[in-house]
């Protein structure tokens, strides 16, 4: 995705935008209908890209709900 590419390229400079985007992605990650599977998968992928871009220290405190959503 374009957002994922920007996050990966910007790395630490993406931190100011990460929290808002992660909240938006959480919305998609908890969808349960079959027709939402693609959106859910893309959101999960983007969360991973953002996590790699901003680093463990920034992500570790907020990561548990995303892990829960990904495995549910």
Domain holding 48, by residue range, is 2-71
Output the pLDDT for position 34: 96
> Which own/partner pairs from 45-49 qualify as long-range (CB within 8 Å, at least 24 positions apart)?
45/1, 45/4, 46/1, 46/3, 46/4, 46/7, 46/21, 47/22, 49/4, 49/7, 49/8
pLDDT per residue over 7-23, tens digit each? 999 999 999 999 999 99
Please list, in sequence order, all residues whose beta carbon lies within 8 angstroms of the beta carbon of residue 52, skipping any fewer than 6 positions away.
Answer: 8
Instruction: Look at the chain and report how many structural domains it folds into.
Output: 1
Output the pLDDT for position 25: 96
Output the pLDDT for position 72: 85
pLDDT per residue over 14-53, tens digit each? 999 999 999 999 999 999 999 999 999 999 999 999 999 9
């Amino acid at each position: 995705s374009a957002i994922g590419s920007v996050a990966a390229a910007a790395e630490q400079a993406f931190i100011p935008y990460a929290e808002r985007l992660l909240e938006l992605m959480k919305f998609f990650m908890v969808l349960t209908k079959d027709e939402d599977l693609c959106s859910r998968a893309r959101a999960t992928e983007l969360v991973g890209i953002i996590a790699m871009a901003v680093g463990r220290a920034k992500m570790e405190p907020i990561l548990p709900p995303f892990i829960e959503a990904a495995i549910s």
